[in-house]
Amino acid sequence: MNTDTGYLDPRTLRRELGLNQLEFWSRVGVTQSSGSFYERGRRIPKSVQELVRVVHIERIDLSQITREEIAVLSHLRAHFPDLYEKLRDASQGRQRRDDNGLGARTELQFGAAE
């Protein structure tokens, strides 16, 4: 895994998380078969890249988020930026303790495994 350059191939990420292909790819709505192709170097669509980032790096359970909650966050950020920043900073303190070892803000660029 190379987080210095921002590159992380999906196979490395999956192995770091200790998941098999079915577990890893099904969490982002991709079949094991397609995930296997991606791990062997096939181009990963941007939408799938973003889902992998959100689900496996940010560790967000998409089934727990509603449209209404997103709207509340957007409203809070737009109309009460100071409060939003304080809440965000407080939650990041908690995230550090819950860190999965990959870092809460890892940026990814997907490509073929080297």
DSSP character string of 95-107: HHHH--SS-TT--
Decide if pLDDT at 98 tops 50. Answer: no
Tell me the average pLDDT across 8-19. 93
| Residue 110 placed within a domain | no
Dihedral sign, CA of 11, 13, 18, 21? negative
Beta carbons of 4 and 108 less than 8 angstroms apart: no
Tokens 């990814």 -> residue: 108
Q: Determine if the pTM surpasses 0.85.
A: no
Q: Determine the pLDDT at residue 109.
A: 55
**pLDDT, the chain, mean:** 82
**Domain span at 83:** 10-98
CA separation, residue 19 to residues 32, 61, 77 (Å): 12, 16, 35
Between 6-20, 30-44, 48-62, the lowest mean confidence (pLDDT) is in 6-20
Which residues, at least 6 apart from 64, have a Cβ–Cβ distance to it below 8 Å?
none
Tell me the average pLDDT across 18-41. 96
| Residue 1 placed within a domain | no
Number of domains in the chain: 1
pLDDT interval class at 92 (50, 70, 90): confident
Residues 40-50 have pLDDT tens digits of 999 999 999 99
| Residue 65 placed within a domain | yes
| Residue 5 placed within a domain | no
